[in-house]
Amino acid sequence: RAAKRKSAQMAADRERLNIDNLLQKLRNWAEDAARDYMADNPDADLQNIAYDLADAWEYEFEADEREELMWHFDGDLNDLKIYAAESMG
């Protein structure tokens, strides 16, 4: 039974850490963050704040997920933030 549980956990972790799933989660987070910000600040220009708002991405992800995303962007936090900012719409 322990082996089955461990195998199931490993499969779940592989799925959770799949880069396509992580990028989709990042896009979804960015869209939600932008929508929430604009609901609270309707006169704001999203283009002016999207990059700064993207700083909060790391709070949405577990440490191993953050590592996978950073690896995908070759360790370039700027590229990751640009991706998140552009996903905001």
CA 79 vs CA 6, 8, 26, 42, 74: distances in Å: 35, 33, 13, 27, 9
| Of residues 1 and 18, more confidently modeled | 18
DSSP-derived letter for residue 59 is G
**Residue pLDDT, tens place only, 5-60:** 888 888 888 899 999 999 999 999 999 999 999 999 999 999 999 999 999 999 99
Average pLDDT over residues 71-82: 97
Residue that the structure tokens 């002016």 belong to: 48
Contacts for 78 with CB less than 8 Å, ≥ 6 apart: none
The model carries a pTM of: 0.86
Residue 7 is predicted with a pLDDT of 81
CA 22 vs CA 13, 18, 30, 80, 85: distances in Å: 12, 6, 12, 12, 15
